[in-house]
Homo-oligomer: A and B are copies of this chain.
Amino acid sequence: MDVSRQQNETARIERGPRARTRKLMLETATRLMQSGITPSVSEVAEAAEVSRATAYRYFPSQAALVHAVVDEALGPILGWSSDSPDACIRVADLLATAMPRIDEFEATFKAALKLSLEQWAQRQAGTLGNEPLFKRGHRVDLLKCVTAPLQGTVPPESRERLAQALSLVFGVEVLIVLKDIWGLTSESAQSVAEWAAKALVDSALRQAEGEA
């Protein structure tokens, strides 16, 4: 089990049965998750028609599995950036890009949130296994990019606060609250998030103007 080789396995185009089986499992897991279910390692093994033992060799836990699928689902979102000078346009663009993707992989992102909650609980209890800790911090950089045009217009502390507030209207949590609690459709949820995001940016701008 060469570690350095395994790390690059996803990036590099490798041949051989190793890469093939891993890819098969990842695709199977992704497909299952997009269909809404959050499969255990055993379930992916069965669906991919490999033995349980083999499955556990590639993904030692459900956490590792979800982690890998999330990384794939996150792809287009992480690559996002905007060069618009208008923060409002940037945030609208980000939401228009990311939210539909999150909605498409809703089960995956919910599973990721669930896992991070599990890990948080285990950390509190002290019984923190040496699992690969979940990150879930991507929105920070994205939103710092969104608020970048406000540099010079809005003081740094307010920009930071705005980015933090925006992170509340951007992510799976939004879908959970608006779809599951309020019963909205994906489109309505998206539109509420967009309205809220614009309101927050406008408020930050107006506040900065008033102080100037």
Chain A residues with CB under 8 Å of chain B are 35-38, 107, 110-111, 113-114, 116-118, 120-121, 124-125, 136-137, 139-140, 161, 164-165, 167-169, 171, 173-174, 176-178, 180-182, 184, 192-193, 195-196, 198-200, 202-204
Complex contact B192–A38 (CB within 8 A) = no
| 12 pairs, CB–CB < 8 Å, chain A vs chain B | A37-B121, A38-B125, A111-B117, A137-B181, A161-B195, A164-B178, A164-B184, A165-B195, A168-B168, A168-B193, A168-B196, A196-B200
Q: Which residues of B contact A164 (CB under 8 A)?
A: 178, 182, 184, 192
Tell me what chain A mostly uses at the interface: helix, strand, loop, or mixed: helix
Complex contact B124–A180 (CB within 8 A) = no
A144 to B89, CA, bound (A): 30
Q: Which residue of B lies closest to A32 (CB)?
A: B125
Complex contact B168–A174 (CB within 8 A) = yes
Complex contact A169–B180 (CB within 8 A) = no
Q: Which listed residue, B113, B116, B161, B181, touches A167 by the CB 8 Å rule? A: B181
Q: Which residue of B lies closest to A113 (CB)?
A: B117
Q: Which residues of B contact A193 (CB under 8 A)?
A: 168
A177 to B178, CA, bound (A): 16
Q: Which listed residue, B38, B181, B198, touches A121 by the CB 8 Å rule? A: B38
Complex contact B204–A124 (CB within 8 A) = no
A39 to chain B, nearest CB (A): 9
A176 to chain B, nearest CB (A): 7
Q: Which listed residue, B118, B121, B192, touches A107 by the CB 8 Å rule? A: B121
Q: Which residue of B lies closest to A117 (CB)?
A: B114
Given contacts A110-B117, A195-B161, A199-B165, contact A125 B37 (CB under 8 A): yes
